[in-house]
Structure 1
Amino acid sequence: MNIQKPLFPKNLLCFSHLRWDFVFQRPQHLMSRFAAEMNVFILEEPIFENLETGYLAIDNRHEQLTIVTPHLPFGLDQELEKLLMRKLLTEFIGETDLNDWIFWYYTPMALQFSDHHTAALTVFDCMDELSAFDFAPKELVLLEKMLLKTADVVFTGGHSLHEAKKDQHNNIHVFPSSIDKTHFSKARTADEEPADQANIKGFKLGFVGVIDERFDAKLIEEIALKRPEWQIVLLGPVVKVAMESLPTGTNLHYLGQKNYQDLPAYLSGWDVALIPFAINNSTRFISPTKTPEYLAAGLRVVSTPIRDVVKPYGIEKLVSIASNADEFISAIEHAIAQNDTVEWKNKVDVFLSDKSWENTFEEMKKKMHWTLFETDKLLAS
């Protein structure tokens, strides 16, 4: 007798604090893969405009991936905003059966307007310690505690974050930053840099990522001043810090945010990649996606002592760890003096061989399936 395998819900609603068209990272990698198998709706944070009432803008990116952006009137107090968002969410879900839905949270703040609905499965993908970021809402800590009670399964974006949260949930699993290895490996064979970077001549150090309170601007300034012959290329949007507060110089090049598809071409022109994160509350639990991306591109990497970079990448001697400008300079000089490039890249490839977003996606689905169907059997037994 054939026993039919239980079916997953056919809709996934992702509550995201990040715009879909911001930087392409964990949410985009995972939600794009879910959208190949079910209907995925990305509910972004609101945009405030001169309106009399609110509405949801629906943007169908392809058959099963839809971006949903609330547009709300200016000047709403917090309570009215929550009430309006609750109304819009209820209208959006409509008459559909909530057993056909997975709720996937990246931001606990969304619980304020969604806690009156109970989906078949609630997932909290705890990507960062958001409460440690600048300008974090004061309600965030309490709402996260509520979400940790509400969620059926919790994923964390790194080992440090898992250590901090593991005692707060009985079904919590660590899924560190993964990689689209095929994509970033293109940097190893690319023979032409994009025009804005090709015009920069000389030895190039590079960083790609959001430039915000986590970025150690002072460190970059000191390296630039002590090695004026080195060119430092910085790719990414500037967020929550004033552009005028960042260091400037003839060897500092802010090239802005780039399309994800173009990143390998930029990385192909670098000699060494940098992870210049400040050591502060906002970086205490981060697991930088750029670490495996740089390595897949065939680049030597120097990083500040971020815990999830030190272990495993520093311990495995795949990334050099440095705490100040002099140590960075020494590590960079040591990196460029190495002549074991083929051997080192082979070691990198072995380490990265089982680390892919595809594997992460499949393993997450297994945890979700177990949570949905196997726990019911345990409770019934």
Structure 2
Amino acid sequence: MKLLKNTDFHSHYDMIVFCHLRWDFVYQRPQHLISRMSEDFKILVVEEPIGKRDHSELQGLEVSESIHVLQPTIDHIQELGSFLKKILKAQVFQVGWFYSAAFIDVLNYLDFGAIVYDCMDELSLFKGASHQLIEQEQSLLAAADVVYTGGKSLYEAKREKHHNVHCFPSSVDQDHFERNGKKDELLLDIQSIPKPIVGYYGVIDERIDLDLLEMSALKMPEVSFVMIGPICKIEEEDLPKAKNIFYLGMKTYEQLPTYLNEFDFAMMPFALNDLTKFISPTKTLEYMCAGKPIISTKIKDVVRDYSDCINLIEDENDFYKAVNEPKSGYEQHYDQILKQTSWDITASKMSQIIKVIA
């Protein structure tokens, strides 16, 4: 990726994407979908403002010829609409794609042939969420032509609020996460960790059941618990400390298959609370691609779709049993599930819907 100059944003764009997540953060649903959408659209991804920096108005990246990322150097998201109207060459665009209702005010300044709300999380339940977000989402739902949801639970929650809702659960790039990752690229931080390894990768935040992690590690001192990913919205001192818990920090999307290959078990130790009520973890299918036995708490969408092949747990005793007596025959189930899904298929179906309404 290369840095962009102010004049680079004078390009013609077909689609403007408004995203609360940074493009160069954890590679997940927005990056998967928008990268594929860029085959048909020239796209500008607008992130949340990063604040004023040395009188610079613009900061951005060129991901590819058809994807630019803008990080507005303004202080408040409420200023974004007038800011974009001033810097963009056009005022009317084919598609406006929203990942967060916090961007709703831009609709007072820019016009779109079709408005898409890709709801991947119930953001109003997250720590530090604005009290206005529920009201903002009501406005976005009123304006949207179509709503996509990142899981079945979210679909059930949104279909009562909009006339055109489609469920597109998290998918997977199977080639990227194929079994037996590239051992020659293995990094030393995981090479030195004793086996067996029960591993997790993803954001480490208030959605993780830290008590479960700690109690399970204490119950199984011979097992290494590896946590890969950035720490967000919690303090490092909040993390459980044990000789057999290892925090390896954030890894790139390209590195993840290598680390995943070294797991003996892959875990999703999510707390069961309002923050996880609607999640459909992308990593579930990625773990399956690597053929790893999966241990997960009883997240609603996981239980509903994968209870026949995933080891479901409630506490450290269940965790112990899952490690010592995992389900058998899971790989056959994995293969059947993976045949039915890919990010390519998901993006194609989304594009077809947009072409009808735009």
Give the TM bin, normalised by the shorter chain: over 0.9
Q: Distance in 2 between matches of 1:207 and 1:181?
A: 18
2:241 to 242, 248, 257: 248
The DSSP-based 3-state class of the residue aligned with 2:175 is helix
Q: Distance in 1 between matches of 2:87 and 2:33?
A: 23
Query: Which sections of structure 1, spanning at least 5 residues, go unmatched?
Result: 1-8, 373-381
Q: How does 1:83-98 map to 2 (within 5 A)?
A: 84-94=79-89, 96=90, 98=92
- Of the two, which has the highest radius of gyration? 1
Q: How does 1:1-381 map to 2 (within 5 A)?
A: 11-49=14-52, 51=54, 55-73=57-75, 82=78, 84-94=79-89, 96=90, 98=92, 100-185=93-178, 187-188=179-180, 190-192=182-184, 193-314=186-307, 317-335=308-326, 344-372=330-358
Q: Distance in 2 between matches of 1:23 and 1:301?
A: 21
Preserved CA contact (<8 Å) 1:128 1:286: yes
- CA deviation map 1:76-114 (0-9, x unaligned): xx6xx62x32221102333x261x431000010001233
Q: Distance in 1 between matches of 2:318 and 2:196?
A: 18
The DSSP-based 3-state class of the residue aligned with 1:213 is coil
Aligned partner letter, 1:224: A
- CA deviation map 1:134-181 (0-9, x unaligned): 100111000001100000000000000000110111111000010001
Q: Distance in 1 between matches of 2:247 and 2:74?
A: 34
Aligned residues: 346
- CA deviation map 1:199-248 (0-9, x unaligned): 11221000001000101111000011111110011000000000011101
Aligned partner letter, 1:326: N
Q: Distance in 2 between matches of 1:355 and 1:58?
A: 33
Aligned partner letter, 1:33: R
Measured after TM superposition, the shift of residue 365 of structure 1 is: 1.0
The DSSP-based 3-state class of the residue aligned with 1:183 is coil
Preserved CA contact (<8 Å) 2:310 2:330: no
Give the direction of change, closer, same or farther, for the CA distance of 1:47–1:97 in structure 2 (3 Å limit): closer
Preserved CA contact (<8 Å) 1:56 1:88: no
Of residues 195-204 and 123-132 in structure 1, the stretch that sits farther from structure 2 once superposed is 195-204
Preserved CA contact (<8 Å) 2:37 2:351: no
Q: Distance in 1 between matches of 2:259 and 2:279?
A: 24
Measured after TM superposition, the shift of residue 10 of structure 1 is: 5.9
The DSSP-based 3-state class of the residue aligned with 1:188 is coil
Measured after TM superposition, the shift of residue 133 of structure 1 is: 0.6
Q: Distance in 2 between matches of 1:92 and 1:213?
A: 37
Measured after TM superposition, the shift of residue 351 of structure 1 is: 1.4
Aligned partner letter, 2:180: R
The DSSP-based 3-state class of the residue aligned with 1:38 is coil
Q: Distance in 2 between matches of 1:20 and 1:271?
A: 30
Q: Distance in 1 between matches of 2:57 and 2:237?
A: 36
Measured after TM superposition, the shift of residue 369 of structure 1 is: 1.8
Measured after TM superposition, the shift of residue 118 of structure 1 is: 2.2
Q: Distance in 1 between matches of 2:32 and 2:315?
A: 33
Query: Which sections of structure 2, spanning at least 5 residues, go unmatched?
Result: 1-11
The DSSP-based 3-state class of the residue aligned with 1:238 is coil
Q: Distance in 1 between matches of 2:221 and 2:318?
A: 16
Q: Distance in 1 between matches of 2:108 and 2:215?
A: 48
Preserved CA contact (<8 Å) 1:205 1:274: yes
Preserved CA contact (<8 Å) 1:211 1:238: yes
TM-score by length of 2: 0.93
Q: Distance in 2 between matches of 1:190 and 1:70?
A: 38
The DSSP-based 3-state class of the residue aligned with 1:167 is coil
Preserved CA contact (<8 Å) 1:128 1:285: yes
- CA deviation map 1:9-34 (0-9, x unaligned): 96111000000000000000011111
Preserved CA contact (<8 Å) 1:152 1:171: yes
Preserved CA contact (<8 Å) 2:197 2:224: yes
Aligned partner letter, 1:89: L
Q: Which residue of 1 aligns with 2:9?
A: none
Aligned partner letter, 2:64: H
Q: Distance in 2 between matches of 1:311 and 1:86?
A: 41
Aligned partner letter, 2:338: L
The DSSP-based 3-state class of the residue aligned with 2:21 is coil
